[in-house]
Chain A
Amino acid sequence: MTTSLDPAIETVIPKPSRLSGVTASVFSSIRSFRSSSGTLPIGLILLAFLVLVSIVSLIWTPYPPAATGTGAFSSAPSAAHWFGTDSVGSDIFSRTISAGRTDVFYTVAAVAISLTIGSTWGALAGFFGGWFEAVTLRLLEVVQAFPALLMALLIITVLGPGTLNVIVVIAIIPLPDFVRLARAEVLTKKTWQFAEAARMVGNRPLVVLFKHLMPNSWRPLLAYASISAAWVCGNIAALGFIGVGIQPDAVEWGSMIARGESDVVAGAWWEALFPGLGVLVLAIGCQLVGDGIAARNRGEQR
Chain B
Amino acid sequence: MAVEISAPPPRSLRSRRGIVVPKFVSLIGRRVLAALLVIWGVVTLTFLLTRVFGGDPVNLFAQPTSTAADRAAIRQRLGLADPIPVQYVHYLRDVIHGNLGTSYMTFRPVTADLMNRVPATAELAVCALLFGVTVGVAVGVLSAVFEGSIFDRASRLLTSAGLALPQFWVALMLIVIFFDRLHVLPGPTGRLPIGAFPPPKVTGFYLIDSIITGHLSTFWPALRQLILPVLVLGYGVSSPIARGARASMILALKADYVRTARALGLSRARTWFVYAFRNAMLPVITMFAGTVAWTFSGTVLIEGVFGWPGVGQYALSSLENSDFPALQGFVLYASILYVIVYQLLDIAYTFADPRIRS
A residues in contact (CB < 8 Å) with B: 129, 138-139, 141-143, 145-151, 153-155, 157-160, 187-188, 191, 230-231, 234, 237-238, 241-244, 254, 257, 261, 264-267, 269, 272-273, 276, 279-280, 283-284, 286-288, 291
Contact = CB atoms under 8 A, between A and B. Distances in A.
A269 B180 contact: yes
Interface stretch (B67-75, B159-167, B278-286): B159-167
Contacts of A159: 53
B271 to A, nearest CB: 25
B41 A148 contact: no
Contact of A141 (B38, B49, B293): B38
Contacts of B300: 149-150, 153, 242
Nearest to A244: B319
Interface of B: prevailing SS: helix
Given A147-B293, A188-B1, A273 B42 contact: no
A235 B169 CA distance: 12
Across the A-B interface, give the 9 residue pairs with the lowest CB-CB distance, nearest first. A142-B41, A283-B164, A149-B297, A276-B169, A147-B296, A269-B176, A147-B297, A147-B293, A158-B54
B347 interface: no
Contacts, number: 148
Given A142-B38, A187-B3, A264-B175, A150 B331 contact: yes
Nearest to A188: B1
Contacts of A187: 1, 3-4
A261 B172 contact: yes
B115 to A, nearest CB: 18
Contact of B331 (A141, A146, A231, A261): A146
A147 B331 CA distance: 8
Contacts of B46: 154
Contacts of B164: 230-231, 234, 280, 283-284, 286-287
Interface in B299-358: 300-301, 304-305, 315-316, 319-320, 322, 324, 327-328, 330-331, 334-335, 338-339, 342
B297 to A, nearest CB: 4
**B45, B164, B168 — most chain A CB neighbours (10 Å):** B164
Nearest to A291: B160
B41 A257 contact: no
Q: A interface, by DSSP: helix, strand, loop or mixed?
A: helix
Contacts of A267: 176, 180
Contacts of A276: 166, 169, 172-173
Contacts of B161: 280, 284
A280 B45 CA distance: 33
Contacts of B296: 147, 150
Given A141-B41, A187-B3, A265-B180, A154 B49 contact: yes
Interface string B1-19: 1011000000000000000
B49 A148 contact: no
Contacts of B166: 234, 237-238, 241, 254, 276, 279-280, 283
A284 to B, nearest CB: 5
Nearest to A260: B172
A147 B49 contact: no
B176 A242 contact: no
Contacts of A269: 173, 176, 180
Contacts of A291: 160
B50 interface: yes
A242 B304 contact: yes
A158 B335 CA distance: 18
A146 B337 CA distance: 10
A287 B163 contact: yes
Given A142-B41, A150-B300, A150-B330, A191 B1 contact: yes
B290 to A, nearest CB: 9
A138 B342 CA distance: 15
Interface in B11-40: 37-39
A276 B169 CA distance: 6
A139 B38 CA distance: 9
Contact of A238 (B45, B160, B301, B339): B301
6 contacts: A145-B342, A149-B301, A157-B327, A269-B176, A272-B173, A280-B161
Contacts of A138: 37, 41
Contacts of A288: 160
B301 A154 contact: no
Contacts of B179: 265
